[in-house]
Amino acid sequence: MIFSTLLLIQTAAAPLPKPLTETHMRDIGCVATLGLVADEQRRGVATSLRFPNVMQRGRSYAGIVGERVMAETGQPREVVRLAMGQAVEDQQMQLAEAEKRGEEGKPILDALVAKCLPLLDAEVPEKVPTEDELRFCAAIISLSAEEIEGREGENSVNAKAMRNLADILTRKYAAAAYPDDPNRSMGPSLRRAEGEVSLEKARQAELARKGGELKALSEAEGEEKYQRCIFLGE
């Protein structure tokens, strides 16, 4: 009896959830927008590359927004998740309806992303690539170039583009690893960087042969790493 009375008191004293504000809905809308862009970037959709890389940061932003909305409104996680899902559906429908009218969805998505990027940057600033990441990316992109060349021939436009990307990443790695070398663009530091990238490439190739983490770049995590490397070389 006493326990039941206490439970009733606690239930009565519990604050009712508050409705979502315009700010909450704006942030949830940006979670949806960034999620749509991130999905296209993971799949390598060429048109999505006009935007900054939001794959990892967009996921972090979604978590921050979800926790904040729940804390400020008292709404349960299921309700917030439902609101995010509905925002995705609404934006997808908006883009689809534009295409049905013979209009391009690109300006609509561009406008949505333009409003959301400042919010994303404020909550989850772009991560500066580390030396290890640049070396890793130079190696992975170089391996990808070799694979494309083997499949499409040495004169393949795609292979040449990937080799150019690998060269850019190698130079970026050289500049990051040896910042005090005034001749890093063409000097000894670049040769050292090229040697280190070659070693990294051999290590990643061996991991692939043994069924390591990069065996299937099509898997979600591997594909995300691969796409981030593409962005770092831009």
pLDDT (average), residues 4-11:
41
- Decide if 143 contacts 209 (C-beta within 8 A): no
pTM above 0.95, yes or no: no
Report the pLDDT value the prediction gives residue 26, as an integer from 0 to 100. Answer: 96
| Domains of the chain, residue spans | 12-123, 131-232
Q: Please, how many CA atoms are within 13 Å of residue 202, restricted to the half-sphere of its CB? A: 5
Residue with the two structure tokens 């299937």: 216
Q: What is the pLDDT of residue 105?
A: 74
Question: Which pLDDT band holds residue 214 (cuts at 50, 70, 90)?
Answer: very low
Query: What is the predicted pLDDT for the residue at 221?
Result: 54
pLDDT at residue 219, rounded to an integer: 47
- Closest to 200 (Cα-Cα) out of 223, 224, 177, 179: 177
- pLDDT tens-place string over residues 22-50: 999 999 999 999 999 999 988 878 888 88
**Model confidence over 101-147: pLDDT tens digits?**
877 778 899 999 999 999 999 999 988 888 888 888 888 888 888 88
Residue 199's CB: how many other CB atoms inside 10 A? Answer: 12
Closest CA to 124 of 27, 43, 222, 223: 27
**Higher-pLDDT residue of 60, 201:** 60
pLDDT band at 14 (very low <50, low <70, confident <90, very high): low
Q: Please state, as a whole number, how many other Cβ atoms lie within 10 Å of the Cβ of residue 101.
A: 7
Angstrom distance (rounded) from CA 22 to CA 19:
10
Kindly tell me if the per-residue pLDDT of 5 is higher than 70: no
DSSP run (H or E) holding 69: helix 55-73
